[in-house]
Amino acid sequence: MALPRTPSFRLDGKRALITGAGRGIGLAAAAALAQQGAHVVLAARSLNEITEAATMIRAEGGSAETLQMDIADIDSTRDMLATTEAFDILVNNAGTNRPAPFHEVQEKDFDAVMGLNVRAAFFVAQQMAKQLIAQGRPGSIIHMSSQMGHVGGAQRSVYCASKHAIEGLTKAMAIDLAPYKIRVNSICPTFIETPMTKPFFESPEFLQNVLGKIKLGRVGQVEDLMGAVVLLAGEAAALMTGSSMVIDGGWTAD
């Protein structure tokens, strides 16, 4: 009788593209993948942020480079990615939020959130999948979704709509891409302390409301997501596709 062996969490020889990689969750995802041996390509509009991030990763012995692009510009992004070597892993992380009560949402804010969170994410993933299919290679696409893709939230009608869309997209993509051995999953965090969310926590009322719903009693940190990124990226999750990893401290448990 042979004792089963745990699949490796190492990602040596893999190429990973991380969008919105200059800070916060994107930076953590890039660091997590690099620490497991992947060559990471950090993509964002701000060259300064991703340059600094890539430098830090290389200083720790990781392999990293930068790719300055605005994924909301679909044509430019498609052309740019078409000239690069195919990626084995995509962390579709770039996103935004413009909170407002439903009855006060403006069209420009709706378009900005849906344009980045859904439209841009859709076509980045499509371009990656096309390249993998053309080369007959497997891959892993990880959508950075949200607990708000499973529930509703005050002043988050557009954001919730965008993340519910990502959850549906994840399942539909998984079905279409399974024959090509391309897996598609999502990670759904609760409120994570990042440069984008930190200003919200300065409101005692907001913070109290958040902590009242997170059963574990604390705001999430980017480190809480790094293990999930590594898991979904590699062979340890070889049978996972169309799934959603909800990392919410128990927010959606009731």
Q: DSSP letter string over 131-169?
A: HHHHHT--EEEEEE--GGGTS--TTBHHHHHHHHHHHHH
> Residue 53: which H helix or E strand, with range?
helix 47-59
Amino acid symbol at 69: M
What is the arithmetic mean of pLDDT over 72-80? 95
Residue 57 inside a domain? The answer is: yes
The mean predicted confidence, pLDDT, of the chain is 97
Output Rg (C-alpha) for the chain, integer angstroms. 18
| pTM of the model as a whole | 0.96
**Phi/psi zone of residue 101: left (φ > 0), alpha (ψ -120 to 50 degrees), beta?**
beta
Which residues are bridge partners to 140 per DSSP?
89, 183
Is the pLDDT confidence value at 196 over 90?
A: no
Is the pLDDT confidence value at 200 over 90?
A: no
Is the pLDDT confidence value at 120 over 90?
A: yes
Q: How many residues does the chain have?
A: 254
Residue 32 inside a domain? The answer is: yes
Catalytic residue set: 159, 163
Residue 31 inside a domain? The answer is: yes
We report the CATH number of the domain holding residue 33 as: 3.40.50.720
Residue 146 inside a domain? The answer is: yes
Per-residue DSSP letter, 87: P
Residue 10 inside a domain? The answer is: no
Q: Quote the CA–CA distance of 224 and 29 in Å, as a whole number.
A: 11
Which pLDDT does position 198 carry in this prediction? 87
Is the pLDDT confidence value at 197 over 90?
A: no
Residue 9 inside a domain? The answer is: no
Which pLDDT does position 81 carry in this prediction? 94
Per-residue DSSP letter, 56: H
* Range(s) of the domain holding residue 121: 15-248
* Tens-digit pLDDT profile for residues 81-115: 999 999 999 999 999 999 999 999 999 999 999 99
Separation of first and last alpha carbons in the chain: 43
Is the pLDDT confidence value at 76 over 90?
A: yes
Count of the separate structural domains present in the chain: 1
* Tens-digit pLDDT profile for residues 130-160: 999 999 999 999 999 999 999 999 999 999 9
Which pLDDT does position 148 carry in this prediction? 98
In 10 A of CB 236, how many CB atoms?
A: 15
Is the pLDDT confidence value at 195 over 90?
A: no
Residue 138 inside a domain? The answer is: yes
Which pLDDT does position 246 carry in this prediction? 98
Residue 1 inside a domain? The answer is: no
